[in-house]
Structures are given as structure tokens and as C-alpha cells.
A and B are shown apart, each in its own frame.
Chain A
């Protein structure tokens, strides 16, 4: 049986497209179905008022003019534990440029347990006690981690569901820092 080279090339192309498309979906799509209809990118980040672990009332608006990395996490979430040391380092590295990492604990654990966990992780950024309504405002955070990158202008630059590599997180931080630079310049 003779094989037409055109056909072989066509089949190879189809298989390659399938593999690349599948790989892309696996890397980018966790939670996108869960958050269908909640495309916040380019939209103003939903405002919230939450209590921090040290008892302060914190509003998202308190960070206006800064790039905010808003990370929904929980003590029972192993992938969240992997990201947290990265966030600590990135806060140190990009804090002087205007980054503020903010953690929102979506946990049933006691505040003491959350504080103990955060302390064990050496967290150097505010941890807020999450409420379901805040998760809903961000599209229904149905699994963790879920991270929103908010530009200096208060608009969502990107959202990432599930664990990503440190490099990807850093790229998103740079995008958030760059977004709304004009806003900062006006201040």
C-alpha cells in the first residue's frame, strides 16, 4: 500500500494540533468552565471588605495605585503551599515597585489555625479571612489556588486557576505592575 506524502503530512499536522491544543488547555483551563461567564479580565476588580488576621478591616480600595496579586487559598490546599513561599519572595522583590500580595483564606479552619499556617509559611503579606460572597464576586472560586492580578488602575489584568510555575506568576506580576502606570503617574 502506497502512502501519499501529502496525506501523511496532513495527518501529522492534525495530530500536532491536537497535542498542542490539548496541552494548552490543560495548562490554562483549570476552572475556566467553573467560572464561565465570570470573565473579569479588563473589568474593575470586585470591591471587598474583609478582616485581616491581625484584626484590621481591609478593603481592596486600600491598595489602589498598587498592583495587587490577590490569592485565594486554604490551609488544606497543598498546591497553595507551594506558591506561598514564591509570593513571599516576589513581595520582597517587587514590593518596592508597587506590588502588594494579598491572601484570602477560604477556609473552615479556625483563625488561629490559619494564623499558625501563615506563620509557618513565613508569610509577609496580609492574610484576610475570606467570605463566600467575595469568592462569588470573583466568579465563584470553586477550587484553589485561584489568583487574580489587578493593575494599578484597579482592573483585573489576568486570572489564573490552579498551580502555575513561578515564572508565569512573575510574568503576570510584571503585567499588573505595567498596567495602569499612567494612573500612578497622575497621583
Chain B
């Protein structure tokens, strides 16, 4: 009985802590970018870099195509070094969810993990090597009762530009015009 009473006392002491962690507004939303492995891309050809993001638990952000013109879409802007072209950014479809503040309305959102795919194309004359790309993911987060001002998450990653592999076709000596019997 003693130990049960102690357990009850401990639970009582921890109660404020537990509730504080669950309260909206006690934590601020965050979106994080997972480390991006260096992607090798052949110069003159497009390559795709995948960026993995995570929205902190209890929050959501608008998708790239929110259902209202006034909502701020999640969008990625990248600056690339000269002669490296940033192509199409592919956003995942948002999840249509309703929230306690608007149970009859569905909002297109990202929550938890989501990935963007970015096409990168180094021009044919780019010197092989590593190149850094920098940019920002703009997002605007909400929880079940409140919304937070738009934020920009720095997005930095590298790509390794390689020479096109030369494919050597061995000629059949028998077919060579220079072959002499």
C-alpha cells in the first residue's frame, strides 16, 4: 500500500508538467530539415534531390496548395550558384483535414514528415566538384486553436557535379577498315 501511495503522490507532482507539455501555445511550432545526403549529378543532365522535412507534433502547416487564397502556402525558394539551374520543385499533395476550430471545413495541410523533390541541372560546362545551394522554406503553422506568424526555415544542401561517364565502345578489329589480314 505504501508504494501505491508513493506512486499516487508522484503522479500528483507530475500533473502540472504533463499538462504543460500538452497545452497549445506552450510550445512553438517548428519545421526541421533532415540532413541531406550529397547527391551526385552528371553535368548537363538533371538530377533530383529529395528534401525531408518534419513538422513538430501537434502542429500543421498549409500545403503548397491551400484551399483559400488568403492562406500562406508552403513554398521553397532556392538560390543556386551560377551555371547550376534549379528546376521544378515537386510538392506532395496536402492532406485534407478538418480541425476543431472549423469542423465543417477541410484544409489542405502537411503534418509530421513530408518530402519535396527538387530538380537540379548543372550546365554542361560546369567544373566538376561540390556546390552548395541555399534557400528557405516558407511556411505558416497552426495548432488546433491558434496560428503562428509565417516563418522561413533555412534550407542548405550540396550537390556533387560529375563529368559524364565516357562509354568506350570496343571496336571489333575484324570490322575495322584498318584491319589487315
Contacts and interface: CB of A to CB of B under 8 A. Distances in A.
B140 A162 contact: no
A76 interface: yes
Interface of A: 4, 7, 10-11, 14-15, 17-18, 21-22, 24-26, 29-34, 74-82, 106, 108-109, 113, 117, 142-145, 161-163
Interface of B: 1, 4-5, 7-9, 11-12, 15-16, 18-20, 22-26, 28, 68, 70-72, 99, 101-102, 105, 107, 140, 142-143, 145-150
Nearest to A24: B19
Contacts of A25: 16, 19-20, 22-23
List the 10 shortest-distance A-B pairs measured between CB atoms, nearest first.
A30-B25, A22-B19, A162-B145, A162-B146, A77-B147, A18-B15, A79-B101, A31-B25, A75-B70, A25-B19
B20 to A, nearest CB: 7
B69 to A, nearest CB: 9
A150 B35 CA distance: 49
Q: Tell me which of A7, A11, A143 has the highest count of chain B C-beta atoms within 10 A of its own C-beta.
A: A143
Residue in B4, B20, B145 with the greatest tally of chain A CB atoms within 10 Å: B145
Given A25-B22, A26-B24, 15 more contacts: A10-B8, A11-B4, A11-B7, A22-B19, A25-B19, A29-B24, A31-B146, A33-B25, A77-B142, A78-B71, A78-B101, A82-B101, A117-B70, A142-B148, A143-B147
Contacts of A75: 70
A154 to B, nearest CB: 27
Contacts of B18: 18, 22
A162 B1 contact: no
Nearest to A113: B70
Given A18-B19, A25-B20, A143 B4 contact: no
Contacts, number: 120
A33 B147 CA distance: 15
A32 B24 CA distance: 10
Given A7-B5, A22-B18, A161 B146 contact: yes
A33 B26 CA distance: 6
Contacts of A21: 15-16, 19
Contacts of A33: 25-26
B154 to A, nearest CB: 19
Nearest to B101: A79
Contacts of B101: 78-79, 82, 163
